[in-house]
Amino acid sequence: MSKNIYIIRKEHFNAAHRLRRTDWSDEQNERVFGKCANKNWHGHNFNLIVTVKGVPSQETGFVINLTTLSSIIKKEVLEVFDHKNLNEDVPYFKNGLASTENLAIVIWDLLEMPIEKEGGKLAKIRLEETENNFVEYYGGNEPF
Amino acid sequence: MSKNIYIIRKEHFNAAHRLRRTDWSDEQNERVFGKCANKNWHGHNFNLIVTVKGVPSQETGFVINLTTLSSIIKKEVLEVFDHKNLNEDVPYFKNGLASTENLAIVIWDLLEMPIEKEGGKLAKIRLEETENNFVEYYGGNEPF
Amino acid sequence: MSKNIYIIRKEHFNAAHRLRRTDWSDEQNERVFGKCANKNWHGHNFNLIVTVKGVPSQETGFVINLTTLSSIIKKEVLEVFDHKNLNEDVPYFKNGLASTENLAIVIWDLLEMPIEKEGGKLAKIRLEETENNFVEYYGGNEPF
Amino acid sequence: MSKNIYIIRKEHFNAAHRLRRTDWSDEQNERVFGKCANKNWHGHNFNLIVTVKGVPSQETGFVINLTTLSSIIKKEVLEVFDHKNLNEDVPYFKNGLASTENLAIVIWDLLEMPIEKEGGKLAKIRLEETENNFVEYYGGNEPF
Amino acid sequence: MSKNIYIIRKEHFNAAHRLRRTDWSDEQNERVFGKCANKNWHGHNFNLIVTVKGVPSQETGFVINLTTLSSIIKKEVLEVFDHKNLNEDVPYFKNGLASTENLAIVIWDLLEMPIEKEGGKLAKIRLEETENNFVEYYGGNEPF
Amino acid sequence: MSKNIYIIRKEHFNAAHRLRRTDWSDEQNERVFGKCANKNWHGHNFNLIVTVKGVPSQETGFVINLTTLSSIIKKEVLEVFDHKNLNEDVPYFKNGLASTENLAIVIWDLLEMPIEKEGGKLAKIRLEETENNFVEYYGGNEPF
């Protein structure tokens, strides 16, 4: 049996955002999004945990070199989102909602190909918005 | 492909319990349950981590509103177990053992329907009894 | 000897801010404040850890009731800063810099009197901006 | 100048307790102690962090051997409190309240002499009752 | 439906290692393994998290007694690797690379049978090398 | 009153070491240093937490720019110790014991002047060797 194994790298970024629909009244926004609807933004320290699947190389013992994986995450995600405003500074949520769920899906799409070019297979994204609120995304798959 | 994603909420409660069979001798209880058999109870800070599966709403970007999910957990689980005695104050372990495994199964049954009424699907319960002892339950499924 | 003891409560809030002087050029702001100068804001999950000093009451065993202390922090600090923009939504940094240092000093001034009214003495504020950046403030005192 | 340094050991124990005065009515107990007054007990995972002060030995580089310090804590504190009921199983709170403050003072008294016999000086006790509630005790001293 | 549940135990060990091929030049080792190639070793605090699958016993409420599981991990893994040099003190990496991936596979093979003898089924190994680098192994299976 | 405040930066490094006196027998080394005496080394993930004292600048709101502080720690400490053997690769413990206590004192001496050159005053070093073993050093002072 091939020895499939999962290698995981944790990175961090800080960003501002708000959850607010311009086609809704202030009342409706506050009813649905609560304090997250605040016009003047709020922000978070996001933890991003990226899982890559593969068989360890005979030559190096690595599924993917973690230095390489860390560089990919920094280039593709942290340079885009770190110390930024998710609604204003990036194109992904101009016409959509910067929920943690949607942010995780965008991050998957940014990471999938660059990781594949290095011989790994992106298997899972975990995005931690606060100490108590997290999202996990498996590229649309349903492992459970 | 539908964008299935998992949203996760962490809550806490403190409770007393013991692991002790009344049909066993003190010696047998201590041999099997060790210090957990202490007649006069001991207790824990439990972390409860609840995973809900779904497709983010186009309207809100949410699988389930985390304020709603948190309220369900507080109403269905924390009001029942927080600062309580698992053997004395709740009906679930009168004739059974308040092991972390059994507690996780009871919590699943308390949460499944209320979450479904809000449009989510309960996918996983993680219950942390101490810094080093945890249980995970997927409703009886075996994802791995 | 009186039994002085320190009781500590940890709370959380999320906020947006930026470090940027309007009397400086973009270049000067970026040279001094780096990514924190981003015009469109960024944000953090702040941990606030409040230490109160006193002698435990004979009647209750408490220096201060932690429910009371938590309520004071929520009323005086979290209602003011949680899910807010530190530069736009509160009066404290209109003409100053919303650095973690300055924020800790503002929080001390908000908490000192309400805690004293409950019979406690504010002894220390710890403010955690990220996993690696923290500030501690003892009301201007220098314990070490 | 002598090179005073502080060496710190973290240990854990689990215990049940309640905050309840027998000379008070149920209403008064609940008003003051809230959920902690529950007759049937609740419990916690306590973290105990012990700081010992001294000058490192030329011979070993140690202020105190951490294996020795850990053994002292296990013998003097964990064997007494772990998996026990703080009100029922130990003599310290028969006529008093098992608040975290009072528990920290009791633990100081249990550890001070045994640590001194090994050549160290007990400098600080930190007792963590939950993720958000802590107590620190310096033997009655007021470092800040 | 049978109530499959997962019980998890976390343990720790400290070890030295290096990532270095003797058939490669210093330059090649450093290019691939970076600082991890240092001839004189470096080391880590490893967290080992072991998941066992099963149906709780009617008699005890346990999938596997955590005291038993902890003893197995201590005997089979910690006695072998704790405070050891992974390249010099154990036979597993004499002719191979002590990468976290390979270490996780070796640990699986050490734990699988002893856990099965106690009636449990090893389902997952998680090995944490640093705060940001982790490996997960499911015995070669691919749950996602 | 001047507004003295403490700014804190946490960094990490991994290193190998052993506690072993060449002038002692194997038996004596093992009796005093236990598993830490292993000839072939073991290692740790060290957390280094550095506290700098000062009054926030009117111009920047900073006691010291955390980017500067982080750079100083990286240059003076991490480049020296990260992924190194504390006994073999650095000059500080050739004739002494690489205990956590002694390592903290060495780190203080490496950081004190570079931080002072940037206008800050080094106030405290905390060095975490494992999850349960820590050292704190105040430059020889005794704040408590």
H or E segment and range at residue C70: helix C66-73
The 10 Å CB-count burial string (b at 16+, else e) for D8-17 is bbbbebbbbb
Task: Select from B4, B100, B107 the residue whose CB has the most chain E CBs within 10 Å, as the one to mutate to test that interface.
Answer: B100
Measured between CA atoms, how close is E37 to chain F, in angstroms?
Answer: 9
Q: Catalytic amino acids of B?
A: 36, 83, 129
D89 contact residues in B (CB cutoff 8 A): 38, 40
Averaged pLDDT, B71-77: 98
F83 contact residues in E (CB cutoff 8 A): 35-36, 38, 42
Interface of F with D in 73-102 (CB under 8 A): 96-102
Does chain F touch chain A (at least 3 C-beta pairs within 8 Å)? no
Q: Catalytic amino acids of E?
A: 36, 83, 129
Q: Does B40 touch chain A (CB under 8 A)?
A: no
Which of A42, A83, A101, A136 is catalytic? The answer is A83
Averaged pLDDT, E83-99: 94
Which pLDDT does position E95 carry in this prediction?
Answer: 81
Averaged pLDDT, C62-88: 97
SS (H, E, C) A20-74: CCCCCCHHHHHHHHHHHHCCCCEEEEEEEEEEEEECCCCCCCCCCCHHHHHHHHH
ipTM of the complex: 0.96
Which of C12, C83, C88, C101 is catalytic? The answer is C83
Q: Does C47 touch chain F (CB under 8 A)?
A: no
Domain layout of chain A by residue ranges? 5-15+44-137
Name the percent of chain B lying above pLDDT 70: 99
pLDDT tier for residue B13 given thresholds of 50, 70 and 90: very high
Q: How long is chain A?
A: 144
Is C36 considered catalytic here?
Answer: yes
The chain A residue lying nearest C34, using CA atoms, is: A83
E strand intervals along chain E: 4-17, 42-54, 84-85, 121-128, 133-140
Which pLDDT does position C3 carry in this prediction?
Answer: 87
Report chain F's mean pLDDT, rounded to a whole number.
96
Give residue-wise pLDDT tens across range B110-125.
999 999 999 999 999 9
Which pLDDT does position A96 carry in this prediction?
Answer: 86
Say if residues E73 and E9 touch (Cβ distance below 8 Å).
yes
Task: Select from F22, F99, F112, F124 the residue whose CB has the most chain D CBs within 10 Å, as the one to mutate to test that interface.
Answer: F99
Say if residues C107 and C127 touch (Cβ distance below 8 Å).
yes
Pairing state of beta strands D84-85 and D133-140?
Answer: unpaired
pLDDT tier for residue D95 given thresholds of 50, 70 and 90: confident
Distances (CA, A) of D94 to A106, D45, D69, D78, E143: 59, 21, 28, 19, 53
Which pLDDT does position F3 carry in this prediction?
Answer: 87
Averaged pLDDT, C27-32: 96
Q: Does B68 touch chain E (CB under 8 A)?
A: no
D100 contact residues in C (CB cutoff 8 A): 7
Is F36 considered catalytic here?
Answer: yes
Task: Select from E45, E84, E131 the residue whose CB has the most chain F CBs within 10 Å, as the one to mutate to test that interface.
Answer: E45
In this complex, do D99 and C60 lie within 8 Å of one another by their Cβ atoms? yes
The whole-angstrom separation of Cα D69 and Cα C136 is 29
F4 pLDDT more than 70: yes
Report chain C's mean pLDDT, rounded to a whole number.
96
C4 contact residues in D (CB cutoff 8 A): 138, 140-142
Q: What homologous superfamily is domain E5-15+44-137 in, according to CATH?
A: 6-pyruvoyl tetrahydropterin synthase/QueD (3.30.479.10)
H or E segment and range at residue D137: strand D133-140
DSSP B37: G
Which pLDDT does position E1 carry in this prediction?
Answer: 52
What DSSP string runs through E62-102? -SS-HHHHHHHHIIIIIHHHTTEETTTTSGGGSSS---HHH
Say if residues B59 and D14 touch (Cβ distance below 8 Å).
no
Give residue-wise pLDDT tens across range F108-135.
999 999 999 999 999 999 999 999 999 9
E27 pLDDT more than 90: yes
In this complex, do A14 and C89 lie within 8 Å of one another by their Cβ atoms? no
Say if residues D138 and D70 touch (Cβ distance below 8 Å).
no
Which pLDDT does position F1 carry in this prediction?
Answer: 52
Averaged pLDDT, C98-108: 97
The whole-angstrom separation of Cα E19 and Cα E98 is 6
Burial of C117 (0-12, 13-18, 19+ CB in 10 A): exposed
Neighbours of F54 (CB within 10 A): 21
Which pLDDT does position A53 carry in this prediction?
Answer: 97
Q: What is the mean pLDDT of each run of 10 residues along chain A (144 residues)?
A: 89 97 96 96 97 96 97 98 97 93 98 97 98 97 96
- Which two tokens mark D103? 């528990």
Q: Among C8, C10, C61, select the one facing D102 at the smallest CB separation.
A: C61
Distances (CA, A) of A14 to A17, A85, B18, C101, D114: 10, 9, 43, 18, 47
Say if residues B124 and B107 touch (Cβ distance below 8 Å).
no
Does chain D touch chain C (at least 3 C-beta pairs within 8 Å)? yes
DSSP B62: -
The whole-angstrom separation of Cα A6 and Cα A52 is 6
Task: Select from A1, A2, A6 the residue whose CB has the most chain E CBs within 10 Å, as the one to mutate to test that interface.
Answer: A6
F95 pLDDT more than 90: no
**Residues 6+ away with beta carbon under 8 Å from D95:** none
Q: Among F2, F9, F56, select the one facing C101 at the smallest CB separation.
A: F56
The whole-angstrom separation of Cα C33 and Cα C41 is 12
Angle between helix C100-117 and helix C66-73 axes, rounded to 10 deg: 130
Pairing state of beta strands C42-54 and A42-54?
Answer: unpaired
In this complex, do B15 and D43 lie within 8 Å of one another by their Cβ atoms? yes
Q: Does E40 touch chain F (CB under 8 A)?
A: yes
Report chain D's mean pLDDT, rounded to a whole number.
96
| Higher per-residue confidence, D75 vs F3 | D75
Q: Among B12, B14, B35, select the one facing D43 at the smallest CB separation.
A: B14
In this complex, do A134 and B53 lie within 8 Å of one another by their Cβ atoms? no
Q: What would you report as the CA-atom Rg of chain E, rounded to the nearest whole angstrom?
A: 17
How remote is the C-alpha of D141 from its chain's centroid? 16
Which pLDDT does position E56 carry in this prediction?
Answer: 95
pLDDT tier for residue F101 given thresholds of 50, 70 and 90: very high
Which of F30, F36, F44, F112 is catalytic? The answer is F36
Q: Does C71 touch chain D (CB under 8 A)?
A: no
Q: Does C67 touch chain A (CB under 8 A)?
A: no
Burial of A97 (0-12, 13-18, 19+ CB in 10 A): buried
Measured between CA atoms, how close is C102 to chain A, in angstroms?
Answer: 18
Q: Among A12, A38, A131, select the one facing C84 at the smallest CB separation.
A: A38
Give residue-wise pLDDT tens across range F27-60.
999 999 999 999 999 999 999 999 999 999 999 9
Which pLDDT does position A95 carry in this prediction?
Answer: 81
The whole-angstrom separation of Cα A56 and Cα A64 is 8
**Which residue matches tokens 């506690």?**
F19
Measured between CA atoms, how close is B59 to chain D, in angstroms?
Answer: 36
The whole-angstrom separation of Cα A114 and Cα A120 is 9
Burial of A96 (0-12, 13-18, 19+ CB in 10 A): middle
Lowest-pLDDT choice from A119-123, C125-129, E2-6: E2-6
Angle between helix E66-73 and helix E100-117 axes, rounded to 10 deg: 130
Angle between helix F100-117 and helix F66-73 axes, rounded to 10 deg: 130
B96 pLDDT more than 90: no
Which pLDDT does position F11 carry in this prediction?
Answer: 98
Which pLDDT does position B1 carry in this prediction?
Answer: 52
Closest CA to E85 of E20, E25, E4: E20
